[in-house]
Structure 1
Amino acid sequence: MGEEEREYKLTFYLGDNDYCLKKEKTSGNYVRKGSLQQFLSSEEHMCGLHKEAKQVFCEVDRSLLCMLCSSSQEHEAHRHCSIEEAAEESQPGTRAQTNPPRTGIGGTQLFAPGSSFLQHPAKEPELQSSIGETMDMLPRKVDSNILQAFHEELTCLICMNYLIDPVTMGCGHSFCLSCLCVSWEKAESTNCPLCREPAQQTNFKTNILLKNLVSIARKASLREFLSSEEYMCGLHKEAKQVFCEVDSSLLCMLCSSSQEHEAHRHCSIEEAAEESREKLSNQMASLWEKIQEIQRNLNKDGRISDHWMSYVYQHEHITRVAYQALREVLHQEEKQHLKSLEEEGPEMFKHLEERRDEMIEKKISLRAMYEELMDICHKPDVELLQELGDKLTRSERVQLHMPQPLQPQLPARPITGLVDRLNRFRVEISFTNEITNHNIRLFDDMRSLRFMRDSLCASLDPGPSNYYASWGDQVFTSGKHYWELHVDDSWDWAVGVCKESCVRKNGTLIGSQDTLLLLCVKEDNGYTLWTTAPMTRQFIEKPLGRVGVFLDADRGSLSFVDVAKRSLIWAYPHGIFNFPVRPFIDTGHT
């Protein structure tokens, strides 16, 4: 029979409860069910008064106690020890054969159902002998074939430590969630780090079964570690099983009830390690969210930096063109305007670079803190408690003062005579042709596009639009025309011109070359301006009140004006269109 076809089963009985550790061929899973410690921590055997596990044996009245009961007035003068030690100190003897014996590994006779060796002294010696022989045989018969495989099942295939917050991918491989996040952070695709199979989802849930098994394995390792002579209490020669939360020291149960420590708050080492690991996990989750936040800010800042200087140069160009019509009287104003642009462009770019450096430095410190916590989280319980120190406080401190990306903006500088000159071409536009096509979703499409750029794993369904959209009655094929639109009470708005056929089509307008629009889109707590054909971010103040639209159909150009500031927002170059156009408006009113 091959190794993979064997079934190993270790069974020992305590009272009427069976506990087993087995390897099954069909499932390939390694399941440990119980231990003496788990049995004693069940609700049935919890202290009714203090709701704590009974881990102490009173040698005077031979009863099981929790640690608080053992230091009470009734029992403080008695001699106590752990249940495991009481069992080890018992002498072998004979017991009444009231029930047929059960047999464990190697034919060892184990407990009969219904027996409890600590509460039945007459049966104690032989029962304890059976337990001792069985537990002595466990490492020899199991370590080499089952325990190693069991340990591997609970090991993260990235960090090669016990799984922390384990998640299982569709391919069946399991990893620490933190390890998987770090592995995918710079990866081009979200594949399994082991078999490279693409992940079917990235929103994983904790594998509770694996998490519980890891907890059991850690407790077993801790008990084995604490039972070594190195960690025995030098004064009482007992195992150190208690953690003092005041001075962060390991104590035996007798030391914990001494005058030096009796006023301190104690708990088991297992509980202290579990609580500390939970705090570490929470801090890691918080740090990771901050890392993702800073990365989103870096992405946003990178896009702004990439286009900022190009935008400034373009604005210099359109400013020069606007002043050409007023060259003789506006020459000095033009020089001052362009000088300001030349100074403000590099200055703001310098600030953008400095802020980007701040965010990169912040990300590095957050990442270093995250890796430090992840490293200590993987340490054995005792090392974890001894090295924890002020790391949680430092983690909280490093998450303060998160740098945010700058929002550069050119001031709206007035151009003398601009609005007066345009008013010579003033026309009145009637918007009576309301567009009922619900597929006109300028602002929802814009927000969806921006949202998806900032998040690899996000999705946004804005639902149906709730805006008023209409095109004007007039169709312009030639001449110069200027009109103004009031947008002060709108949270989103778009003004401009469009080819008549494009508003009759289904689908979005933001990618169409047949629409020349200025859009104001609400984002988070602010607004951003955009122009279409192509989509271009406008780094300039949001106009308040009225927006002017100047159409030169003969040259195929279009300009937008901030009427209140008497400044130019944007001007398309000549020849941008060569087809008849209608005025267009789309607003969302409060």
Structure 2
Amino acid sequence: MSAASCLLSRDQFLCSICLEVFTDPVSTSCGHNFCKSCITQHWDSNVECVCPLCKYTFYTRPEMNVNRLLSQMAAEFRQSAQSEASRRSEEPAAKPGEVQCDFCTGTKQKAIKSCLKCEASYCETHLEPHLTAARLRSHQLIHSVDNLEDRMCKKHKKPLELFCKTDQTCVCLICPVLDHKNHEFVPLEEEYEGKKSELMKMVAELQQKIQLTLLKIQEMKQSAKLSREAAGRERADGDQVFTSLKQLVQEIQADFRKTMEEKQRNTEKQTEDLIKELQHELSGQRERAADVKKLLLSEDHLHLLQSFSSISSAPPTKDWTQVRVHQRSHEGSVVKAMAQLEETISKEVKKLQEKVELRRIQQFAVDVTLDPDTAHPLLILSDDEKQVYCGNVRKNLPDQPKRFDQCPIVLAKQSFSSGRFYFEVQVKGKTEWDLEVTRETSERKGLIRQRPREGYWTLMLRNVDEHKASVRPPVPLSLESKPEKVGVFVDYEEGLVSFYDVDAAALIFSFTGCSFTHELLPYCHPGRNHVGTNSAPVIISAVSHSD
């Protein structure tokens, strides 16, 4: 007989008097079965012979014979139950942290249920009476727990089955009568559901807070990463600047020393030349003095008189009284060198400031695409609407209000009416172009006057290398190099439009004090084709932070 069948038929083999498996089972005429010794003792202790179950009265004590079939079945059941118990006794013991059965002898098995009535925990084997015995089936079973005493009222020794909402505590059924009069009570199950709902809400709130915290942590990590990257760029910039300054100081120092040494060499050469000249005169003077002395010692009257006139007339000599070695002044040389260094450092600082400023405004980069509905019929746009150049053939396009009809101009699709925006345009290889921003309401028909008064803030290139800012009159710009990529920055509220040489990280020109009251659009004039000499496209390029 299998374990499952034993459990399913166990009630059929229990004596309702001793609640144990039948021993020598007998059957009464009313259809109930008992152990022979149990029913005999029961009737011996009572005056009347009454069935313990249905209360049927036997007026004469019936003669009881053992039910052989039931006895055999009970024996088989008992043997099967013993085998099952033996098998279960071989099961592994309860692991650390698991609740142990209170009735296992020897190896303690894992308890699967706890009884609040018995204040004990049971493994699967020792739990069976609570599942089958009539007097035990009314006991309250719960999932196995430790410290069952904590689930009992310490004062009344009864299970905690109610929740006192007034005192916010668990109580037994006697507490409301004696200790919690006029309090509000609900069953534990009801309060459990309420508290469970609150816990679920609390979990949801905590999950939300956890997500916000994770986002904040991620934000801080990203901020720290950006800070590290910014610090790295600043360190690189600083190293580059200070290395350049060191080189400049060394170069200026070398030039200073070279100049001083050259001055000193010139002075020394002048002195040497004068000394040589003086030494040459000295040699002549000594020879003449020797000749005079020799003539002075002559006793030949005629020779002395004949030689006197030639020797007495002195050869022409240089007047050395006013001759001085020119002492070159070195005063102010260090000051001059320092002034040159200061000027150089000032230029480097300005370059660095412009580079930092360009990097700052590049964070306001926007995606700009060209609007073919505004393009002059000579203009040819790329499929991605990022490039434009002027062709030689005028396309047949509808002359709608948005389209320029005389000037080869195209506007961007994107317009801006607040805040800051920045975009970059590649103009490499071109001999003529205009870049600007314009009011959405600006004139588009006929000849366009590209001046702030008409709503056009323009930087232009003419004749290969003539850069101008379009004001009245135009302002010519002297640039160290020809820009190949131009950055355009607009601060709507500040009324500022600035143009930058992206590769040189240098400011080209700024329109300041502008008054913007309408939407602004990026504007592009790639210039006439000029028989292919200006056929390179103007390209709206992706913004990458300048190094």
| TM-score in same-fold range (> 0.5) | no
Bigger Rg, which one = 2
TM-score (norm 2): 0.29
TM-score (norm 1): 0.27
